[in-house]
Amino acid sequence: MTEAPPARKIFKSVASRKKMFELFNRVPDCSPEELISGIAYQNQWFEIQRDSYESMFELFPPLFMRAGMFAFSELKSGSVGSVFFEIMINGRNRWFHAYCDHDDGDGPERLRAAIIEHERAVAENMTREEKLQLIWSSTSRDYRGLAGEANPDAWPAEHLGKRTIMVLERPGGTVLKLLEDLTDDEIADRLPHGPTI
């Protein structure tokens, strides 16, 4: 029996719907035997958006459903198929896609644990700049921009062109704030990755 490959994240950011389908269609550089058996895909995972998770749930009848996860009834290759996870990390729900061997009954639970362990380690070891970059890349374009993009007179000259993000401040409502000026609490609140489950 071939040993299962280790869990491996194959995309660093949160995949858009378009990127999710690109990742579904990617072909790993491996032997034909590994492709046919499915081992080329097994235990690979990436983060997706909530609407992608929900639309995948409605696409095919699930092979199985458990708390916070479901699997496609159609297999990728061999006995390896898609499993979708909803996992709460740092008080926020996040969504993931992974390829699991459906002949291994505990495979999805082990992969879920590996995802949690990985995301904890990532969050604990990130620098402030890495956290800001992650927040920037995972924030919708509707809620981010560049200082002075719409109204150059609204910003001091030294801030023009810097990255901005919408922030809900109490009192005061929603305001544009320089990404670099986010407080530690604002960063923790916006990170898709967090150290606690």
Mean pLDDT score, 128-142: 83
Beta sheet of 80-89, edge-to-edge order: 8-15, 44-48, 92-101, 80-89, 69-77, 62-66
pLDDT of residue 164: 92
Banded pLDDT at 188 (limits 50, 70, 90)? confident
Percent of the chain scoring above 70 in pLDDT: 94
Copy the structure tokens of residue 170: 């109490």
Parse the chain into domains and list their residue ranges: 8-125, 128-190
27-44 pLDDT tens trace: 888 889 999 999 999 999
Mean pLDDT score, 57-67: 85
Length of the chain in terms of residues written: 197
Whether 30 contacts 127, CB under 8 Å: no
pLDDT of residue 98: 96
> Which residue in 52, 83, 78, 47 sits closest to 65, CA to CA?
83
66-119 pLDDT tens trace: 889 999 888 898 899 999 999 987 667 899 999 999 898 888 999 999 998 888
